[in-house]
Amino acid sequence: MNETNIAPRQTAILQLLSSGLNTGSQILVGLRPAQVISKATLMRDLGDLKDKGLIRAEGEGKATRYFLLVSRLLVPVDLEQYFKDGSTLRKAGPVEFNSALFNSLGGKQIFAEQEVEKWKKRIVFLSAKKAVLDPSIYKREIERLTVEFSWKSAKIEGNTYSLLETEVLIKQAKEAFGKSKYEAMMILGHKNAVDYILANPEEFKILAEEKIIKLHNILTEGLGVTSGLRNSKVAITGSEFRPLATSASIKDALAKTVALVNSADFPLAKALLALALISYIQPFVDGNKRTARTLANAILIAHDYYPLSYRNLDEVEYLKATLLFYETNNLYHLKRIVVEQYDFALGNYFLV
């Protein structure tokens, strides 16, 4: 999808198109009573969406019909409206795991050809930076990325270490005063996982179930988390989404995830699929989102791409984007976050 900012009203138009309304008059009615706009304004919005490559038009005059050019899973959703009390966007009641989701995803479906070409012009490979940077500077940048990723990923999980406390813990092995041993172990688990990935980058070029489990084991070592795939129900805080409950069904979903990731050509697509689907499947009793974020970075590093630190990420926004994917399978905001964080990485690390 074109990453250009989309106005709230245009978001509503895309939502109506995804529901099957495709004429100008149908869209006008669908927008009311929340938004009352003129036909001329609607035509301008539709023209803008066409220019952004999000829709196409067929026919002329009143017979014109409009169709999405993007997957329904990538139609923008207003996060604030979705999670607002009493929202009509959010359905009440249990949300079951959607096994058909895997048939709707794929590298070429979530990153259009023109997007891939745009990014390929901007890609800076890690190996290229290693070749031109002073070795001590390159090492320092790797350490900085490790610290910032470990801090932010742990913070998303409720860890209270500050960025400076995380740096002291990782570089000097000094635990912060007044913080629990558990918090320190969580951060060091991230650090150990990143160290393992950097020492074995090729391992994650082709994904396999056992590699995901190994990464989870490194991340959660010393935290009292059971190793291997879970065989029991789990609940999701703040959501009625119901993940799979048996190790057999989880194993099957994990195999489909591995196949999808391996079949994608574009590394950012691979990373996004891993981030979204490992979180969605919840294969372990704990540490699922941590594993998803770390695995996404392992895939990027395996393909010589910069990893994501998430340093400037709003944790609440990320958690909302994840819950949105759980409940609707809409990938728009998780994709946006991955793209924004990769852009941030390119502009903030390994600078000459």
Q: Give residue-wise pLDDT tens across range 197-249.
A: 999 999 999 999 999 999 999 999 999 999 999 999 999 999 999 999 999 99
Give the pTM.
0.89
Handedness of CA 134, 135, 136, 139 (dihedral sign): positive
Q: How far is Cα 144 from Cα 164, in angstroms, rounded to an integer? A: 11
Residues 6+ apart with CB under 8 A from 121: none
Query: What is the CA angle 170-175-176, rounded to 5?
Result: 115
Residues 6+ apart with CB under 8 A from 227: 213, 216, 217, 220
* pLDDT score for 4: 46
pLDDT of residue 220: 98
The answer to whether the CB of 64 falls within 8 A of the CB of 23 is yes
Q: Domains of the chain (ranges plus CATH)?
A: 8-70 (1.10.10.10), 95-348 (1.10.3290.10)
The pLDDT value recorded for residue 91 is 83
Coil, helix or strand at residue 350: coil
DSSP string, 299-325: HHHHTTPPPP--TT--HHHHHHHHHHH
Q: What is the pLDDT of residue 72?
A: 80
Which parts of the chain register pLDDT below 50? 1-4
Q: Is 267 exposed, middle or buried (0-12, 13-18, 19+ CB in 10 A)?
A: buried
Mapping DSSP onto H, E and C, the string for 170-217 reads HHHCCCCCCCCHHHHHHHHHHHHHHHHHHHCHHHHCCCCHHHHHHHHH
